[in-house]
Amino acid sequence: MLTSVWRWLTDGGHWQGETGITHRLLEHLQYSGESLLIAALIALPIGALIGHTGKGKWIIAVANAFRAIPSLGLLFVVAMWFVSRLTGDSAYLVPTIIVLVILAIPPLLAGAYSGVSEVDPAARDAAYGMGMSGRQVLANVEVPCALPLIFSGVRSAALQIIATATIAAAISVGGLGRYLIDGLANSDYAQMAGGAILVTALALLVDGVLAVIQQLTVPGGLRTTSVSRRKQRAAAAAVESAHAA
Amino acid sequence: MLSFIQDHWSDILSRAVEHAWLAGLPLVIGLLISLPLGWLARRASWLRVILVGGSSLLYTIPSLALFVLMPLIVKTNIVDPINVIIAMTIYTLALLVRTVADALGAVSEETTQAAIAMGYTPIRRFFGVELPLAVPVISAGLRVAAVSNVAIVSVAALLGIRQLGFYLTDGYQTTYWAEVWTGVVACLVLALIFDLVIQLITRLLTPWQKAAVS
């Protein structure tokens, strides 16, 4: 079984053309990247603002409740609603992007909110004491200090998006999920497993790259003590464990 | 939707039971395995890196991909429900090993010292003091895992494994709204039941918490 999967993956013909791995990989990255960007533009400012003001915490609770909705169900509901209203490729692409954005918002919100609200009160007070306005404190102190947790949310969101973009092949969009769905339809296990390996590799790679970026975003002043690092790790664990795939 | 539920009541129930097994059994197995692993992760920092890092690495594998890869690893058939049980156990472990390690780490030093001074052996201390005190945090992690498991199991419907996700795929293929909504609501209700059961068990295991509140 392994050899047939290996043969499928290493067959040069499978990498070329409209249905080739290279093209499918780029499609997958494109949907995922666009959705992550849209979701981040919506969720990060709102999350940071809730953390800064302490108002509107119910939004976080509502977003977290959304995680209980099975992503497959959400995908089909949104796709069915759009299929009679849009034509051509966009009939499947638009609902896919919408679902990916919806699923990415809760972890992003949680990351930005807990990142900002858990900033050391002493640092916040010091900034106010130096005469900074609320906006300056948010932009120059709270957000930089919150970056590790914000990125923890971004990682969770990215993984959620890559996983769901795979399932989205069930509503006829491209991406690497096609190999899993088409392979199943044709009883071609080598193709399915090959696709699964590619998706897994993509998820691990994206998570690894984001993890490195996350490390680099830790502000210099926060890198010193092991106590604060342990605190951050515990907080990051809370955000990550709240993430449902 | 109500008439669909009425007409398919027995089928919905039997699928719900199967869904509960596929999501719940891994929860129990995962919890039992994560307790010793979480305890080990507290022993040394290199063990923590391997155990917590390794398990969260497994969590990055997309669910559909993990279901599909199972036959390669355990030599099963692609439609075998065992694949889903193992895959869900892996996800549960990925969430709980870290939670258990953090929960045990949150037990205060004074409490542990007091237990040692009272002559508790390490094993009795773990089961008699540290584990009971860690229950609330572990339970919070377990609730997240439970809700996530119920949602992820429905993805296995794409592979034709019997559970509630069938109403999602079947309803989509036949553009039958009532059926899709039934699938979504049934999954949500099941997740809610799991959540309530875990909360109830937690309350029974931690009677001192109620006493502290009142």
pLDDT of residue B212: 64
List domains and CATH numbers for chain B. 2-207 (1.10.3720.10)
- Asked if the model's pLDDT at residue A76 lies above 60, the reply is yes
pLDDT of residue B122: 87
Torsion of CA B72, B78, B82, B83, to 10 degrees: 50
A179 vs A228, residue with greater confidence: A179
Residue of B nearest to A208 (CA): B57
- Asked if the model's pLDDT at residue A33 lies above 70, the reply is yes
What percent of chain A shows pLDDT beyond 70?
91
CB-based contact (8 Å) between B63 and chain A?
yes
Mean pLDDT rounded to a whole number for chain B: 91
pLDDT of residue A241: 53
Cα dihedral A160, A166, A171, A175 sign: positive
The structural architecture, per CATH, of the domain A2-241 is Orthogonal Bundle (1.10)
pLDDT band at B213 (very low <50, low <70, confident <90, very high): low
Asked if B91's CB is within 8 angstroms of A196's CB, the reply is no
Residue B213 CB coordination number (10 Å)? 6
A135-139, A229-233, A240-244: which is most confident: A135-139
Asked if B159's CB is within 8 angstroms of A159's CB, the reply is no
Residues 115 through 154 of chain A touching chain B, CB cutoff 8 Å:
none
- Asked if the model's pLDDT at residue A244 lies above 90, the reply is no
Residues 14 through 43 of chain B touching chain A, CB cutoff 8 Å:
none
The closest CB to that of B151, out of A71, A199, A203, belongs to A71
Cα radius of gyration (chain A): 21
**Per-residue pLDDT tens for B118-144?**
999 988 998 999 999 999 999 999 999
B11 vs A231, residue with greater confidence: B11
- Asked if the model's pLDDT at residue B95 lies above 70, the reply is yes
Please state which of the ranges A62-66, A206-210, B115-119, B146-150 shows the lowest mean pLDDT: A62-66
The closest CB to that of B99, out of A192, A207, A241, belongs to A241
Delimit the domains of chain A by residue range.
2-241
Please state which of the ranges A84-88, B14-18, B61-65 shows the lowest mean pLDDT: A84-88
A84 vs B139, residue with greater confidence: B139
pLDDT of residue A245: 39
pLDDT of residue B31: 96
d(CA B69, CA B64): 9
Angle between helix A71-83 and A143-167 (nearest 10) = 70
pLDDT of residue A17: 84
Residue B62 distance to chain A (closest CA, Å): 5
CB-based contact (8 Å) between B214 and chain A?
no
Average pLDDT of the segment spanning A97-114 = 95
- Asked if the model's pLDDT at residue A228 lies above 90, the reply is no
DSSP 8-class letter at B126: I
Amino acid code (one letter) for A2: L
pLDDT band at A239 (very low <50, low <70, confident <90, very high): low
Asked if B57's CB is within 8 angstroms of A204's CB, the reply is yes
Asked if A166's CB is within 8 angstroms of B60's CB, the reply is no
The closest CB to that of A80, out of B62, B144, B172, belongs to B172
Residue of B nearest to A156 (CA): B60
pLDDT of residue A150: 93
Identify from B172, B188, B196 which residue to disrupt to test chain A contact, counting A C-beta atoms within 10 A and taking the largest count.
B172
Residue A155 CB coordination number (10 Å)? 24
Residues 10 through 69 of chain A touching chain B, CB cutoff 8 Å:
67-69
Structure tokens at A7: 């043969």
Mean pLDDT rounded to a whole number for chain A: 88
pLDDT of residue A157: 95
Please state which of the ranges A6-20, A193-207, B82-96 shows the lowest mean pLDDT: A6-20
Cα dihedral A197, B160, B149, B82 sign: negative
DSSP 8-class letter at A168: G
Identify from B60, B66, B177 which residue to disrupt to test chain A contact, counting A C-beta atoms within 10 A and taking the largest count.
B60
pLDDT band at B208 (very low <50, low <70, confident <90, very high): confident
Average pLDDT of the segment spanning B33-43 = 91
d(CA A196, CA A176): 8
d(CA B38, CA B101): 4
Q: Which residues of B touch A241 (CB under 8 A)?
A: 95, 98-99, 141, 144
Residue A70 phi/psi, 5-degree rounding, is -65, 130
Q: Which residues of A touch B180 (CB under 8 A)?
A: 73, 76-77, 80
Spell out the long-range contacts of A5-10 with Cβ–Cβ below 8 A and sequence spacing 24 or more: A5/A189, A5/A190, A5/A193, A5/A194, A5/A197, A5/B72, A7/A190, A8/A190, A8/A191, A8/A193, A8/A194, A9/A194, A9/A197, A9/A198
